[in-house]
């Protein structure tokens, strides 16, 4: 009789433990499911339902660097369509004139003032005069938006020991020094007016993946852009300045020669900028194009060791095939 009672009590305690474990597992599963659902609902809202901010509330002039091609050119045209007067900055005076003409044709129904500045951020001479020139050109203007888009990278995938000193210094000067000086040039005016938006174009190479082998200096400079932007956002948000680092993945531009056509995951510069405009003024770090945000999320689920291995193999393969050559 005693043995039977002990067995019953033992079974009772076993069932109790099983029930408790089942309840805990269910609670964890429900919590995880709720979080995933909340994340999905937020994603839908951010990319498809949230109203974009009225960028004209920042000011009447916009400054765009790297304005002659790709994302920069698309930003310049889109901002002009939204009613901004433009200050276009690029290396080629001929291309700047071409983009200027294209802008004037696209907004022919209203007057649009355009100032063109020829600046090469890889030139030491231009860098020395950069801040003074931009401040002189923007003096008295209600500059509300700065798009820091100018950037450069390797001509093809290279191990670090293969990168010449001149090349990596040029990349640092364009992607880091030039970008920083542009912020230095326009920020004081924004602070006086207590409003402004600064958009720094970063890269998924620095944020969405743990490393970007064969383009090490490029990825490192874009990591600077991300950190710089987030800290500026924290410093100046309460003073009316919205700073955002935008994270594109592949966009069909000349900077990505292995991409010839647009796809589901590779938008045109115009498609990318249409999405990018909607995200200005919100988070300090944003992947504006919705399929890019999906790629970023999926990448976050993969252990770093596998992503690093894949990126290196993918880079070596493209290097051998000559796909990275410009």
Residue-wise pLDDT for 29-49, tens only, equals 778 788 888 889 999 999 999
Nearest by Cα to 212 from 108, 308, 136, 318: 308
In terms of residue numbers, what domain contains 26?
A: 1-50
Q: Residue 52 — pLDDT band, cuts 50, 70, 90? A: very high
CA 277 from centre of chain:
12
Q: Residue 15 — pLDDT band, cuts 50, 70, 90? A: low
> What are the residues facing 154 on neighbouring strands?
none
Q: What is the pLDDT of residue 3?
A: 54
Q: What is the mean pLDDT of residues 62-69?
A: 97
CATH of the domain at 304: 3.40.50.720
Q: What is the mean pLDDT of residues 81-102?
A: 97
- Asked whether residue 237 falls in the same domain as residue 298, the answer is yes
Q: Which residues are catalytic?
A: 218
Q: How many domains does the chain have?
A: 2
Task: For residue 251, report the phi and psi dihedrals to the nearest 5 degrees.
Answer: -125, 140
- Asked whether residue 37 falls in the same domain as residue 121, the answer is no
Nearest by Cα to 65 from 149, 134, 126, 173: 149
Q: Residue 323 — pLDDT band, cuts 50, 70, 90? A: low
- pLDDT for 9 beyond 60: no
- pLDDT for 260 beyond 60: yes
- pLDDT for 230 beyond 80: yes
Residues 6+ apart with CB under 8 A from 61: 84, 85, 86, 87, 138, 141, 142, 143, 144, 145
- Asked whether residue 46 falls in the same domain as residue 60, the answer is no
Which position has the higher pLDDT, 36 or 69? Answer: 69
| Residue that terminates a domain, selected from 17, 34, 50 | 50
- Asked whether residue 45 falls in the same domain as residue 57, the answer is no
Q: What is the pLDDT of residue 204?
A: 96
Q: What is the pLDDT of residue 318?
A: 85
As a whole number of angstroms, the distance between CA 168 and CA 160 comes to 9
Are the CB atoms for 152 and 256 separated by under 8 Å?
Answer: no
pLDDT, tens only, 110-156: 889 999 999 999 999 999 999 999 999 999 999 999 999 999 999 99
Q: Among 44-48, 108-112, 238-242, 267-271, where is mean pLDDT lowest?
A: 108-112
DSSP 52: P
- Asked whether residue 161 falls in the same domain as residue 284, the answer is yes
3's enclosing H/E stretch is helix 2-44
- pLDDT for 180 beyond 80: yes
pLDDT, tens only, 154-167: 999 999 999 999 99
Kindly state whether residue 326 falls inside one of the protein's structural domains.
no
Q: What is the mean pLDDT of residues 291-308?
A: 95
- Asked whether residue 120 falls in the same domain as residue 149, the answer is yes
Q: What is the pLDDT of residue 201?
A: 98
């Amino acid at each position: 009789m005693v043995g039977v009672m002990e067995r019953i009590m033992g079974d009772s305690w076993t069932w109790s433990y099983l029930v408790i474990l089942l309840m805990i597992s269910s609670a964890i599963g429900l919590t995880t499911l709720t979080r995933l659902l909340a994340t999905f609902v937020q994603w839908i809202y951010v990319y498809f339902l949230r109203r974009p901010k009225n960028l004209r509330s920042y000011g009447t002039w916009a400054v765009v660097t790297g304005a002659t091609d790709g994302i920069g050119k698309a930003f310049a045209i889109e901002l002009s369509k939204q009613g901004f007067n433009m200050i276009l900055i690029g290396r080629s005076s001929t291309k700047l004139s071409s983009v200027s003409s294209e802008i004037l044709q696209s907004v022919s129904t209203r007057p649009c003032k355009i100032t063109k500045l020829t600046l090469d951020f890889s030139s030491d001479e231009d860098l020395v005069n950069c801040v003074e020139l931009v401040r002189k050109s923007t003096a008295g203007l209600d500059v509300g938006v700065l798009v820091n888009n100018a950037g450069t990278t390797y001509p093809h995938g290279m191990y670090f020991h293969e990168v010449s000193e001149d090349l990596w210094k040029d990349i640092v000067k364009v992607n880091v020094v030039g970008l920083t000086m542009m912020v230095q040039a326009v920020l004081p005016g924004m602070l006086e007016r207590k409003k402004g938006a600064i958009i720094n174009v970063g890269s998924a190479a620095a944020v969405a993946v743990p490393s970007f082998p064969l383009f090490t200096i490029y990825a490192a400079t874009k990591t600077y852009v991300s950190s710089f932007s987030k800290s500026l956002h924290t410093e100046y948000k309460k003073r009316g300045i919205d700073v955002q680092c935008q994270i594109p993945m592949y966009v069909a531009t000349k900077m990505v020669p292995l991409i010839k056509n647009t796809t589901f995951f590779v938008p045109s510069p115009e498609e990318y900028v249409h999405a990018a405009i909607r995200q200005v003024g919100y988070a300090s770090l944003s992947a504006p194009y919705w399929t890019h945000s999906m790629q970023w999320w999926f990448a976050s689920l993969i252990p770093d060791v596998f992503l690093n291995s894949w990126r290196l193999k993918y880079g070596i393969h493209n290097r051998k095939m000559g796909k990275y050559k410009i």
